[in-house]
Amino acid sequence: MLTRVADGVHVHTSGFLLSNAVVVQGRDGVLLVDPGVQESELLCLADDLAAAGQRVVAGFSTHADWDHVLWIPRLGDAPRYGTARAAAAMSEQLAAPGAKEAIAEHLTGTEVAGQVPMDLLGQITALPAGTTHIPWDGPPVRIVEHQGHAPGHAFLVIEQSGVLVAGDMLSDVLVPMLDTEAADPVEDYLAGVRLLDEMAGDAAAVVPGHGTVGGAGETRARIELDLAYVLALRTGGPDSDPRIGPAARPGWEWVTDLHNGQVGRLHGRSR
């Protein structure tokens, strides 16, 4: 089901990790950002668009994690874009022998095992480095790249409606997930959060990759929450955050384990 976020902007939410696909209305069709996750959900999204008389004219993946690079034939053959670094990271992943099989194995035991379409996974086109807007015939959508969560991660600002599409940042259910393989993962993420504050701190709405959509006034609160979490990681990580511990959303208690594992990787110890 498509849910209106702002004029010309809708969200389709997956049952898996509250994953959000974003649909932006253009002149001759829609821009589709990060569609997912199960095949049945992607078919539902395609049906909703068809029922509304819409076709997909462009796609965009905010980064190269498997759940942000999905597609099915019913969505059409529109170009699917990503930043140059994200596309390169995706190409490197897919070049590894058995890459798609490894993703499927990773999902074994989860509620989406065997339900994620792999055939068109990761087929994204690199935009030239420094591209500032998605090339399509619709409202200007600014691309802001940083390296905080993954190589070439981007958040989008839909300038006409003031909606921020945050990628895997600013979630109300997941703590910030750093690229712990980077040379300075904490500073990389802080740079990304500061860009968010600079470019979209007063956004009319924020759509995280996973979680609930935040309305007017919530963007800055989420920026401050993520900033506090990442700053605390410098010295071992926060013990208090509404997304971890006893305050966590029911059913999401496992995020505390994710948090503890991240602290261990960053500081070389277990918790």
Q: Render pLDDT for 86-99 as a digit per residue (tens, 0 to 9).
A: 999 999 999 999 99
- pTM, to two decimals: 0.96
Per-residue model confidence as pLDDT tens digits over 96-126? 999 999 999 999 999 999 999 999 999 999 9
Instruction: Return the half-sphere exposure (C-beta side, CA atoms, 13 A cut-off) of residue 270.
Output: 0
As annotated, the residues of the chain forming the CATH 3.60.15.10 domain(s) are: 1-129, 141-271
Retrieve residue 244's tokens.
Answer: 């971890």
Provide the CATH number for the domain formed by 1-129 in this structure.
Answer: 3.60.15.10
Which whole-number Å values give the CA distances from 40 to 107, 198, 211, in the listed order?
Answer: 16, 38, 20
DSSP string, 90-139: HHHHHHSTTHHHHHHHHTTTSTTTT-S--TTTT--EEPPTT--B--SSSS
* 85: nearest Cα among 172, 158, 154, 7: 154
Return the residue matching tokens 């966590």. Answer: 248
CATH topology assigned to domain 141-271: Metallo-beta-lactamase; Chain A (3.60.15)
> Please, which residues have CB within 8 angstroms of residue 138's CB and are 6 or more apart in sequence?
24, 25, 26, 27, 30, 31, 57, 58
- pLDDT value of residue 270: 42
- In terms of pLDDT, which residue wins out, 171 or 247? 171
